[in-house]
């Protein structure tokens, strides 16, 4: 069990729930060190004052904000502690919204909320069951690391999970990202939907980090003085000219692969259920 990174309380109305916040995820990336090629000595990052080139200890470092005019405004820990934030030691529930109304781009780091102490058991269970029955997520506000933040609470099994969120003004605009308008037939869109259905739900359940596997194998082989086998890279195909032909071939391949993996058969709509206004799949568009 990871250690708690924050202790406080979840509040809604007059109810306060003491909680401990724990990281819900962990970084499994392979870590590298930098070293000097000449003698294999470790290369480390040191904090150096740019005026006198002297190395600076942590207790000699202050915090400041540089204005547009170049002036430095010092902000101390005492200044930050004195800011009157009602959420300084609390995760305050502001209301509830449907989960589908949350833009996934706004979701950031996930945390587990654990009931902290015997007195927290009943109100923690109360909030969890209320969230389960409402089928919504609770919007919360809290203050960590010198800034106020926003997030949502949801239920995962028997625990309450908090997902940190980005503020609206932290999301960049999508303006200019879409390509120029193109003409698509209904048969092409239907074929794309058929391909998505044929792929099924195995993508998320069966995936693993192949790059990390290969990297760990590389390190093991080099550490043992062995040879590293060359990997088969994916071949980049030429640009698609006949979109419908590519879709049909992709659907057939996905069905074959899913059948070999023991997946559920793909349901296709009978022609009579497609409606009179649906174009036939016989046409081919470039």
pLDDT tens, per residue, the chain with 286 residues? 678 888 889 998 888 999 999 999 888 888 899 999 999 999 999 999 999 999 999 999 999 989 988 899 998 888 877 776 666 678 999 999 999 999 999 998 999 999 998 889 999 999 999 999 988 999 999 988 767 899 999 999 999 999 999 999 988 998 888 888 888 888 888 888 888 887 776 656 667 777 787 777 877 887 888 666 665 555 555 565 677 787 788 878 877 777 655 555 555 544 444 444 444 444 444 3
> What pLDDT shows up at residue 62?
92
State the Cα–Cα distance between residues 108 and 142, nearest whole angstrom.
Answer: 14
Q: What angle do CA 190, 193, 199 make, to 5 degrees?
A: 145
Q: Position of tokens 């990871």?
A: 2
Contact 55, 41 (CB under 8 A): no
> In sequence order, what are the residues at sequence separation of 6 or more whose Cβ sits closer than 8 angstroms to the Cβ of residue 215?
30
- For residues 25, 28, 29 and 32, what is the CA-based torsion angle, rounded to 10 degrees? 120
> In sequence order, what are the residues at sequence separation of 6 or more whose Cβ sits closer than 8 angstroms to the Cβ of residue 188?
243, 244, 247, 285
Class of CATH domain 6-28+82-168 = mainly beta
> Rounded to an integer, what is the distance from CA 4 to the centroid of its chain?
21
> What pLDDT shows up at residue 239?
60
Residue 147 pairs in a beta bridge with 144
> What pLDDT shows up at residue 1?
63
Sequence ranges of the domains in the chain: 6-28+82-168, 186-273
CA gyration radius for the chain? Answer: 27
State the Cα–Cα distance between residues 84 and 143, nearest whole angstrom.
Answer: 11
DSSP state at residue 24: S
State the Cα–Cα distance between residues 30 and 113, nearest whole angstrom.
Answer: 28
> What pLDDT shows up at residue 93?
93
State the Cα–Cα distance between residues 166 and 107, nearest whole angstrom.
Answer: 7
Q: Select from 128, 107, 126, 116 the least CA-distant residue to 89.
A: 116
- What sign for the dihedral angle of Cα 94, 98, 102, 108? positive
Compute how many other C-beta atoms are within 10 angstroms of the C-beta atom of residue 165. Answer: 21
What pTM was computed for the model? 0.68
């Amino acid at each position: 069990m990871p250690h708690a990174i924050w202790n406080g309380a979840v509040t809604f109305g007059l109810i306060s729930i003491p909680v401990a916040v724990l990281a819900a995820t962990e970084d499994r990336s392979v870590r590298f060190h930098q070293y000097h090629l000449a003698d294999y000595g470790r290369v480390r990052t040191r904090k150096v004052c740019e005026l006198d080139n002297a190395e600076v200890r942590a207790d000699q470092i202050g915090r400041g904000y540089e204005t547009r005019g170049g002036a430095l405004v010092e902000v101390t820990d005492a200044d930050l502690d004195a800011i009157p934030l009602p959420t300084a030691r609390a995760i305050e529930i502001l209301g509830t919204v449907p989960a589908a109304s949350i833009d996934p781009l706004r979701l950031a780091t996930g945390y587990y909320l654990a009931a902290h102490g015997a007195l927290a058991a009943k109100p923690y269970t109360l909030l969890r069951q209320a969230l389960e029955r409402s089928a919504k997520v609770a919007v919360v506000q809290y203050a960590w690391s010198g800034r106020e933040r926003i997030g949502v609470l949801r239920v995962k099994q028997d625990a309450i999970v908090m997902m940190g969120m980005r503020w609206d003004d932290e999301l960049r605009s999508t303006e200019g990202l879409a390509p120029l308008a193109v003409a698509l037939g209904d048969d092409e869109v239907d074929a794309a939907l058929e391909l998505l259905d044929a792929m099924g739900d195995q993508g998320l359940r069966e995936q693993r980090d192949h790059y990390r596997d290969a990297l760990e194998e590389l390190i093991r082989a080099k550490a043992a003085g062995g040879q590293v086998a060359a990997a088969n890279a994916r071949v980049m195909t030429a640009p698609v000219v006949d979109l419908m032909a590519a879709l049909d071939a992709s659907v057939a391949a996905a069905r074959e692969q899913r059948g070999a993996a023991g997946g559920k058969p793909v349901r296709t709509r009978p022609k009579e259920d497609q409606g009179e206004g649906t174009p036939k799949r016989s046409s081919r568009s470039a």
